[in-house]
Amino acid sequence: MTTLGPEHWTAIILALITLFGTVVGAIFTWLGGLNKRTAEMRSRLEKLERRDRLSWLYIRSLIDHAYRHGALPLPEPPEGWNEKDD
């Protein structure tokens, strides 16, 4: 049985360090992408929630207007109420 010399162990250790570095790099890259997607979804959710609150307030004002004023012109919708969903 042949034993490995120090030059072989050095190559094996370097290969293991390289493999570990590659795996850690891939994990950090994946986590960075996940963080970016999470931030984008959070931003979109906040925008949609804001639009939902504006819709609720506008529709509530229409209902109040209909009960109080009858045939008078309707109030204008709030700014950003009818934005497109990206």
- Chain segment 58-80, per-residue pLDDT in tens: 889 888 888 887 767 777 777 77
DSSP 43: H
**Average pLDDT of the segment spanning 19-48:** 94
For the stretch 21-44, what's the b/e string if a residue is b when 16 or more beta carbons lie within 10 angstroms of its beta carbon? eeeeeeeeeeeeeeeeeeeeeeee
Would you call 8 helix, strand, or coil by DSSP? helix
pTM: 0.56
pLDDT for 1 beyond 70: no
